[in-house]
Chains A and B, each alone.
Chain A
Amino acid sequence: MLTYANPNRFMQLARRLTRPVWGLSLACLIIGLYMAFSAPADYQQGMTVRIMFIHVPAAWMSLFVYTFLTVSSIFGLVFRHPLGHVAAKSAALIGAGFTLITLITGALWGKPMWGTWWVWDARLTSVLVLFFIYLGYLFIWKAIEDPLQAGRVSSVLAIVGFVNVPIVKFSVDWWNTLHQPASVSRFDAPALHSDYLWPLLVMALGFQLLFFALWLLRMQTEIFKQKLRVRRLGLVETSNGTAS
């Protein structure tokens, strides 16, 4: 009963939340974009500082989504929560998308600032590895037909892959690299001027809400799929039963 009750309650909640979350996310992104383009040019980086307003939030999201994916996987694997694997699967492609955005905008920011598209430093390399881990996770879901099996196997992979998340986070502190260290999430006052901080935070909120908006829809899609599968299996069984 629990397996049925839970997705149904989730569906009710999701149906109610989807539209407001989409609306809020688009509003934040539009306001954020406006603020990003009206921010003054940086004295050092000039206009290219505007790339920061998508690069940094996307990088935060790539880590957040992976953490979310790992926690959902643990709920699925250890606590056998019926929605755990589904929640993880629904998040994976979105996380991969944000990681790809991080890598591409990073390259486009690096070219005018450092004079090269890519440097093999710890931060960039570990984010690339994060992207590969997302891909491996997605391939597992493609490779294994049975969703219950795929859920368990991919969860183990997700948990193993989590070792990379702290490496990404702290790579700039542990190794001296070209990449600048965190300038917002410091315990003392942020090193970033408020002209840049506010657009950054609004964009980050927009990305976060966009993630939830997309995730809610993907969750509902997965639950639809599950329902259809159960029903079709049931139809096959009953038709077999009447035949014999």
Chain B
Amino acid sequence: MEHVFYIGLSYGVTGVILCLLTANTLSAFFSFRKQIDDEFKPEDSANSP
């Protein structure tokens, strides 16, 4: 049964690292996209009513 521990931990750690990486990437992406939308939208609608 010992090997289950090592296999489980390997897959678990890999999953955690990849999830953290994805979360970091997605949160930065959405936060900056929102900033872009906030800053550029009002001007665009003002320019072309």
Contacts and interface: CB of A to CB of B under 8 A. Distances in A.
Q: Do A and B bind each other?
A: yes
- What band does the interface of chain A fall in when counting residues whose beta carbon is under 8 Å from B? 20 to 34
B39 interface: yes
B6 A214 contact: no
B39 A108 contact: no
A72 to B, nearest CB: 17
A210 B17 CA distance: 13
A55 interface: yes
Interface centre among B10, B29, B32 (most CB of A within 10 A): B10
A51 B21 contact: no
Interface string B1-36: 011101101110110011011101110110011011
Contact of A221 (B28, B39, B40): B28
Nearest to B1: A47
Contacts of B17: 97, 100-101, 104
Contacts of B32: 221, 224-225, 228
A108 B9 contact: yes
A93 interface: yes
A47 B9 contact: no
Interface residues of B, number: 26
Contacts of B10: 51, 54-55, 104-105, 108-109
A111 to B, nearest CB: 6
A83 B9 CA distance: 38
A231 B6 contact: no
Interface string A131-162: 00000000000000000000000000000000
A239 to B, nearest CB: 15
A224 B33 contact: yes
Interface centre among A46, A51, A58 (most CB of B within 10 A): A51
Interface in A152-179: none
Contact of A108 (B6, B20, B26, B40): B6
Contacts of B4: 47
Nearest to A52: B10
B35 A224 contact: yes
B7 A51 contact: yes
A112 B2 CA distance: 8
For the complex of A and B, the 8 pairs showing the least CB-CB separation, nearest first, are: A224-B32, A105-B10, A47-B3, A108-B10, A51-B10, A97-B21, A221-B29, A217-B29
